[in-house]
Amino acid sequence: MRELLKFIVAHMGFLWDDARFRIVGSDLSDHNGGYASLVIESDQLRLTFTRERGELLLYFEPAQVMRPESFTVDIVRAFFLGSRETSSLLDASYASFVESHLAEIEPSFSKVQWPTTLPVLKKLEQERSKRTFG
């Protein structure tokens, strides 16, 4: 959990500006090399930070949708920038992307826009899967 929290403090402190996000859950285990997660959400967006086997990941999902699907930060960045990402591992460039585009990201995960956003994210995920696994 320490590495996860250090990353968030160093690169994503903006999430607490204007009391926009709040911590809604966490998990910690030392089983199989360790696992940690921290879940935060705003009125529209839930972010789940995980650290598993030494790797940091960030998942996005709507906060107000029953049984939502979650998507990694590389898929979300591809959605907004049209870029083809090579990694889903959370790093400073992804943190910078979230900071720069948060005002656009949140509404895309709102209950109103989610039905439009979801199919595009799924398509991007399928395309990544084809590139990765053939």
42-59 pLDDT, tens per residue?
A: 999 999 999 988 899 999
C-alpha radius of gyration, the chain, whole number: 15
79 has pLDDT over 80:
yes
Two tokens, residue 38: 């921290």
Q: Using CA atoms, how far apart are residues 123 and 106, in angstroms rounded to an integer?
A: 20
Among all chains, which residue has been given the structure tokens 């039905």?
Answer: 115
Two tokens, residue 83: 């870029």
| pTM exceeding the 0.85 threshold for the entire prediction | yes
Q: Using CA atoms, how far apart are residues 107 and 103, in angstroms rounded to an integer?
A: 7
Greater confidence (46 vs 130) lies with: 46
- 53 CB contacts (<8 Å, ≥6 apart)? 32, 33, 34
Greater confidence (34 vs 10) lies with: 10
Average pLDDT over residues 101-123: 95
Contact call for residues 60 and 109 (beta carbons, < 8 A): yes
The torsion angle over the Cα atoms of residues 64, 125, 10 and 100, rounded to 10 degrees, is: -80
- Percent of all residues in the chain with a pLDDT value above 70, rounded to a whole number: 99
**Residue 108: other Cβ atoms inside 10 A:** 22
Average pLDDT over residues 6-21: 94
